[in-house]
Amino acid sequence: MTMTMVRIIGPSPAQSSSLTPRRPRPPRPRRCPPTMASAAASSSKPPVVLGCGAVSADYLATVASFPNPDDKIRSLTLKVQGGGNTGNALTAAARLGLRPRIISKVSNDPQGRNILKELQDDGVDTSHILVAEEGNSPFTYIIVDNQTKTRTCIHTPGYPPMVPEELTQENLFAALDGADIVYFDVRLHETALLVAEEASQRKLPILIDAERKRDGLDELLNFASYVVCSAKFPQAWTGASSTPVALVSMLLRLPNIKFIIVTLGEKGCLMLERSTTDASEAEEIDVESLLESLEKKEVLSSSMPKCIASKSNLRISADGIGSISGRLLLGTAEIIPSEELIDTTGAGDAFIGAVLYGLCSGMPPEKMLPFAAQVAPAMDNIYTSRKPLHVPLNIYFSVHAPLYACYAKPTVCECDPYAAKLNHLNKADEDKVLDIQTILVKYNIFHIDQ
């Protein structure tokens, strides 16, 4: 494949692995842009995403089959590395080109030092992570069953836990300064509520990862602009009879939410998006019937993810609950042969990282859902929670071009069909020029499919 020549972009020089966080910048006023896409277009740097939540050390052991009580077995493989929903999601966001920051807490122990170093090496700003001189950092034992392709997680929270008083106003303002979107995994919920309140005052969009019912979740959902949830959550939270009915119920109960995505594993995902205009005069259509009509349009001949969308601005109803103005979108998943699938650890976090990227780059849902579905398997095919993202080169160009279009003058190679979409990317060493394949491999961003 002939590659175009561009200036390279990569993670900023690795931050110091010292456990003493950098002194936060003093707060300064921020003018809120009308949209995140326009923010990217008017800025000389990629968008900033602030995450508040879990980081941890993961001990991932693959076994032939899960042990019975009182068994003694040996692991097939073992990997120790960083994890946690927020840590994983923002690592994915960093590898996709965003500039993530994290509010969390670790201890001054080997696990804490490794957590910080891995995040820093991936270009994640850790200056807002608090470090306790005593105690233990969060860690999780993850047992991956090779036979059933499942994983079992045993989590030990960090101690002492983070309390809201530890997040000073100066550090909070510094973390939010210049942010384009804020993400919560609903851990550290008391601290998260402080961050959400200030983010809401600044009119920043907020994405919530609703994995399961947790303390503080209901309060955080009231601040949410977007929600990504697990397959079981909508029905568990609403008590509805089915997932599509539950999505209608959630949009009715949470009027600030623009869309909800529920991830369905190998079945893909489902999005209910609220319309900006009222369709109350339109004829109502039952949400379950609407989903059935989309499923009939699903094309099974291709393994690549796709998005099947209903018409816009429909009046979508759920019997006995109510109706909303919006549209329903069905996203298919990449078809992965069962013999190639090892584990799904971290796939949901990678999906959220891709959604954050899509929102920041102004990607429409029809493109965002297949893109996120393509990114998610990057963490499916290995037992570790983090690995280089695995995305076909044409998708890299098609999604990165809009975000970086304003950064510099384009370099066009006539023999490269995607070169016209690619622009120079900023880096401190602007004189160094490499082909795009070398860039991606060098900075561990993507493995390229030829």
All structural domains of the chain with their residue ranges: 5-447
Average pLDDT, the chain: 78
pLDDT at position 330 is: 96
Burial class of 368 by CB neighbour count within 10 A (0 to 12, 13 to 18, 19+) = buried
Tell me: the pLDDT tens digits for 219-255? 999 999 999 999 999 999 999 999 999 999 999 999 9
Tell me: the pLDDT tens digits for 250-308? 999 999 999 999 999 888 999 999 998 887 778 899 999 999 999 988 765 567 788 99
pLDDT at position 267 is: 87
Q: What percent of the chain has pLDDT over 90?
A: 58
pLDDT at position 412 is: 32
* CA gap 331, 326 in Å, rounded: 16
Most confident by average pLDDT, 126-135, 327-336, 399-408, 413-422: 126-135
User: Which ranges constitute the DSSP H helices of 2-77?
Assistant: 36-42
* CA gap 29, 400 in Å, rounded: 29
- Could you tell me which of 135, 92, 128, 94 has the C-alpha nearest to residue 111? 135
Q: What's domain 5-447's superfamily in CATH?
A: Ribokinase (3.40.1190.20)
Q: Please give the span between the terminal C-alpha atoms of the chain, in angstroms, as a whole number.
A: 7
Name residues whose C-beta falls within 8 Å of residue 416's C-beta, 6 or more positions apart in sequence.
2, 3, 4
pLDDT at position 386 is: 53
Helix (H, G, I), strand (E, B) or coil at 244: helix
Q: Supply φ then ψ for residue 24, to 5 degrees.
A: -65, 150
Residue 8 has pLDDT above 60, yes or no: no
pLDDT: which is higher, 76 or 394: 76
Residue 410 DSSP symbol: B
Tell me: the pLDDT tens digits for 388-402? 544 444 444 444 444
Residue 336 has pLDDT above 90, yes or no: no
- Could you tell me which of 356, 348, 347, 342 has the C-alpha nearest to residue 378? 347
* pTM across the whole model: 0.76
Residue 186 has pLDDT above 50, yes or no: yes
198 touches 172 (CB < 8 A): yes
pLDDT grade for 149, boundaries at 50, 70 and 90? confident
Mean per-residue pLDDT, 114-136? 95
Residue 141 has pLDDT above 90, yes or no: yes
| Segments of 84-159 assigned E as strands | 99-107, 129-132, 139-145, 150-156
Mean per-residue pLDDT, 17-27? 40
Residue tagged 């995403």 (tokens): 49
